[in-house]
Amino acid sequence: MVVKKNTKFWIGYEEEGKYKNIKTLFIRGDQLIPKIEEILSTNIIHHIYFGAGNQSKIKNYKTISYFAAQDFLITLEVNEENLKDVPKEILINNNIYIVVTFKNKYISKNLGYTDAIKIEDDNHVWISTLECMSHTNKKYAYQGDRVIK
């Protein structure tokens, strides 16, 4: 399924990360708690993914904290340039799984599976080959996802 840019909610199975294969409510953009609760009341969902759909820009962190306190599994996707804007209470919350997105259209075109991605900050260096990372082919994924109006 291709999610249109104006789609705010959809349900499907997570394809990557530590919550892979868990039925998930995907949320694009900042959304209000009552609308999310309405969707959750009619669907059995244990995982909520904020910043979904290649969007990764969230400003309303109170909504995320609210659902993390309700014992939902929470993923927050953040573009690497916006990570500095995420409040510390979100970053240190053990109920929130942070996924930092680095977007680069040349990786799959120019690198082989034995090539590596390196990430650095002032104090640390991380490196991993592409073959050691989980991988989803967008062409075949998301087939069973259902858009919520």
- The domain containing residue 51 runs over which residues? 9-103+138-148
Q: Model confidence over 42-78: pLDDT tens digits?
A: 999 999 999 988 776 788 899 999 999 998 999 999 9
Residue 60: which of 24, 80, 25, 90 has the closest Cα?
Answer: 90
**What CA dihedral angle connects 6, 26, 29 and 4, to 10 degrees?**
-20
Structural domain includes residue 99: yes
Q: Model confidence over 90-132: pLDDT tens digits?
A: 999 999 999 998 888 888 889 998 999 999 999 999 999 988 9
Structural domain includes residue 143: yes
pLDDT of the residue at 149: 74
In this structure, which amino acid lies at residue 140?
Answer: Y
Structural domain includes residue 80: yes
- For β-strands 96-101 and 73-79, DSSP reports them as parallel
pLDDT of the residue at 145: 78
Q: What is the count of structural domains for the chain?
A: 1
The structure's pTM equals 0.86
Structural domain includes residue 109: no
pLDDT of the residue at 6: 66
